[in-house]
């Protein structure tokens, strides 16, 4: 039983947990499509379909980052290297930074509610912690 509680398996679980929680956020994005409450410029002839563009961009970008991180977490030991670890970190930062990067400068870019902010924290913190937990596995011992 103890062989299952390795650094890598705990990191993998944390990442999968965060990604699973994140599916709720993707669902809410889906439910906003076509809603007049989420149009940036209602006067624009593209406003009604523009949220579709954002959804598909988010879906493909988010799922691409998730698949990439999962592939890198399951690399065989001989293929793990510091550059791979950095790639995981960059993928996750690119995935989660939009939740908070704009908020200090434009309050309109903040999460729409405390529930959404908590959702973002629950989905981001476990995978980010996991990457740092797994770091030792990507840096060869001397």
Q: How far is CA 128 from CA 8, 43, 58, 92, 113, in A?
A: 13, 40, 19, 7, 22
What are 33-70's pLDDT values in tens digits?
A: 666 666 655 566 665 566 666 677 777 888 899 999 99
Distance CA 127, CA 10 (A): 10
Render pLDDT for 68-96 as a digit per residue (tens, 0 to 9): 999 999 999 999 999 999 999 999 999 88
Give the residue extent of every domain in the chain: 2-33+46-138
pTM assigned to the model:
0.82
Instruction: Say yes or no to pLDDT of 7 above 90.
Output: yes
Distance CA 105, CA 92 (A): 22
């Amino acid at each position: 039983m103890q062989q299952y509680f390795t650094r890598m398996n705990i990191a993998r679980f944390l990442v999968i947990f965060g990604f699973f929680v994140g599916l709720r956020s993707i669902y809410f994005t889906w439910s906003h499509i076509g809603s007049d409450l989420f149009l940036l410029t209602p006067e624009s002839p593209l406003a009604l379909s523009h949220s579709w563009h954002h959804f598909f961009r988010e879906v493909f970008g988010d799922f691409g980052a998730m698949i990439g991180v999962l592939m890198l977490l399951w690399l065989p030991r001989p293929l793990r290297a510091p550059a791979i670890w950095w790639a995981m970190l960059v993928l996750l930062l690119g995935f989660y930074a939009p939740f908070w990067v704009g908020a200090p400068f434009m309050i309109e870019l903040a999460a729409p509610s405390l529930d959404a902010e908590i959702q973002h924290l629950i989905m981001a913190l476990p995978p980010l912690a996991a990457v740092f937990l797994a770091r030792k596995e990507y840096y060869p011992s001397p």
